[in-house]
Structure 1
């Protein structure tokens, strides 16, 4: 009887710990150069326990089937050699990794709208994309990376070619033994058909929350409620936790209106709006047992040269939002001790 009691205590403690251990991640942007310790130190300083490493493939246009990847013309961090070096350096520092290969279409066109004009071109794209993904799935296994992401914001590709994706998942699992997700855009996650085959429901969490120039904590919190309810219901239906494969806000006015905007607009810098929106997302999700955590978008290697109080872009570096992240991630580390 005493043995059973101690076994129950161990199991309960393990379950309780798993509920509070979150992915406290940053999206570690690829660079021209190798990563060195001084690039990792700011990641450690913000108390992140995960980093997303993002090798890239390039496509000329929305209807082009040729995916170019792992070539000498790419930056070091965008190809296999560089991604592996980044991962090894992060692992040396105790930071876990999600490998997240991504596509960039010339002129920044949205990958979710990529669509081929014929069956032949679809098959060409599928063959190229499979090679791309399996190259990095094998690398993720070789480096013992913890999570592998099979795609990012590819709504039309996913909806038009479901059989391809089902087969791709099987092939990835044949070469990679870790956990798998897909980074769905905020407006596609509820239609993505293969969540039951993955370990996490991946969401790039750029949900519109409010249209105010200076959004308040209360307004942002209210804006999250319908989205939060919908994600909670999906997580329970699929029996999979939600993982924010990307989350973050620009440090500008109207940051909650269209959080996905990547344009170089001249909207006024609003550091408080970014910090408040970041705090609200932590408050709303990080204590939920159906939520696995997420990766801040985005984190650059050259910490001292990016962000700052005159920057209206996504990075939280050298802005008040960085302190919000550090406080949350540090709390998570203490909770899981």
Structure 2
């Protein structure tokens, strides 16, 4: 299969949004979903990440269930077609959640293997079936980027398993491949050479962006690969700029807190030419009415001051470089 990794990133930074999370069946092929994606595109978005989750019961379960638990292939086809009609480039991002609420970063197994206990080999066999199915779908749909995993912090150390999975993905998908490491993990991964794009979740506290970008830059220079924040954002809550990754933080609604954080983050990223762009988290398939925005505490910027911040930055990112 001829690889087409030359299509990794565009000449201008990726101006992206994650859409449709968590991919609940029946939510992506509706009039509401169509209205949602059109509203998202109005912010000057040029890329959309379609993110959806399979499930496993606990962090120590080895069966990853995806048939019937997340959006169907036809729903993904519909969403990609809708995105193409709006002129958007597409990243497919299948991931996994634990039914008991444990964050996927804690999925893990005993090492070395213990007879009678679940193993990494069993988990990767099940997870790999899920990922390879969607990699083949990404090839069918000519997706511009495919993400093999997201924020699997304990799994990150399973280097050979990931290398084998990426190699298998390349047998069915000819486009560029990335892995979405969690925040603070960019310089811990040992297999960045296996993928085409280094990508990360950029949920760094307000006031720390310069230091974190300095650290990530050394990783990018060492590997000589494109870099992308394939997730980044902040809930619209008081206190969230100091803990933007914490979706459980119980702050009062605050569009201004979110807007200030997004302005700081996007400004910091724009000042680093090696940052290939940002895909913001997130935009639901069933979008809340704009009049509910002042009381909405989620990451979505629809109807909030953050929408104007995003539109302004994305417009400037689309401008040609100065002569």
- Alpha-carbon offset, residue 287 of structure 1: 4.0
- In structure 1, the residue matched to 2:145 is 147
- Residue 119 of structure 2 is matched in structure 1 by 121
| Separation (CA, whole Å) in 1 of partners of 2:179 and 2:311 | 26
Kindly provide the CA deviation profile for residues 167-188 of structure 1, in whole angstroms up to 9, marking residues without a partner as x: 1111111211111111111022
Question: Which residue of the other structure, out of 160, 174, 177, is the alignment partner of 2:174?
Answer: 177
Structure 1 counterpart of 2:198, from 174, 191, 201 = 201
Match of 1:27 in 2: 18
Task: Determine the structure 1 residue equivalent to 2:5.
Answer: none
CA distance, structure 2, for counterparts of residue 241 and residue 170 of structure 1 = 19
1:40 aligns with 2:37: yes
Higher alpha-carbon Rg: 1
Quote the RMSD (CA, aligned, Å). 1.9
Q: Secondary structure at the match of 1:190?
A: coil
Alignment equivalent of 2:266, drawn from 272, 279, 282: 282
Contact 1:65 1:116 in 2 (8 A): no
2:240 matched to 1:255?
yes
Structure 1 runs of 4+ aligned residues shifted over 6 Å read none
Which of 296, 307, 313 aligns to 1:328? It is 313
What CA distance in whole angstroms lies between the structure 1 residues aligned with 2:223 and 2:105?
A: 23
Aligned 1:230-269 pairs, distance under 5 A? 230-263=215-248, 265-269=249-253
Q: Residue 104 of structure 1 is aligned with which of 86, 89, 97?
A: 97
Where is the helix percentage greater, Structure 1 or Structure 2?
A: 1
Any idea what SS the aligned residue of 1:267 has?
A: coil
Query: Where does residue 301 of structure 2 map in the other structure?
Result: 316
In structure 1, what is the Cα distance between the partners aligned to 2:194 and 2:242?
A: 33
Gaps of 5+ in 2: 1-8
Task: Return the alpha-carbon distance in structure 2 between the equivalents of residues 198 and 23 of structure 1.
Answer: 18
The equivalent position to 2:212 in structure 1, one of 217, 221, 227, is 227
**In 2, distance between residues paired with 1:277 and 1:130?**
36
Q: Does 1:301 align with 2:274?
A: no
Is the CA contact 1:206–1:248 (under 8 Å) kept in the aligned structure 2? yes
**Could you tell me how far apart the structure 2 residues matched to 1:97 and 1:53 are?**
7
Mind listing any 5+ residue stretches in structure 1 that lack a counterpart?
Answer: 1-16, 210-219
Question: What is the CA–CA distance in structure 2 between the aligned matches of 1:286 and 1:26, rounded to whole Å?
Answer: 17
Aligned residue for 1:48, secondary structure, equals: coil
Q: What's the counterpart of residue 137 of structure 1?
A: 135
Offset of 1:304 from its aligned partner? Answer: 4.4
Secondary structure (helix, strand or coil) at the match of 1:201 reads strand
Aligned-residue offset at 1:194: 1.2
Do the aligned partners of 1:35 and 1:85 also contact (CA within 8 Å) in 2? Answer: no
Kindly provide the CA deviation profile for residues 108-135 of structure 1, in whole angstroms up to 9, marking residues without a partner as x: 2111111124465322211111111111
> What's the TM-score, normalizing by structure 2?
0.87
TM-score between the two structures when normalised by the length of structure 1:
0.84
Contact 1:27 / 1:52 at 8 angstroms: preserved in 2?
A: yes
Question: Contact 1:130–1:168 (CA<8 Å) still a contact in 2?
Answer: yes
Q: Secondary structure at the match of 2:241?
A: coil
Distance 1:38 1:270, change over 3 A: closer
- Residue in structure 1 matched with residue 76 of structure 2 by the alignment: 83
Partners in 1 of 2:211 and 2:37 — Cα distance? 37
2:256 partner SS: helix
User: 2:295 aligns to what SS in structure 1?
Assistant: coil
- Structure 1 stretch displaced more, 47-56 or 32-41: 32-41
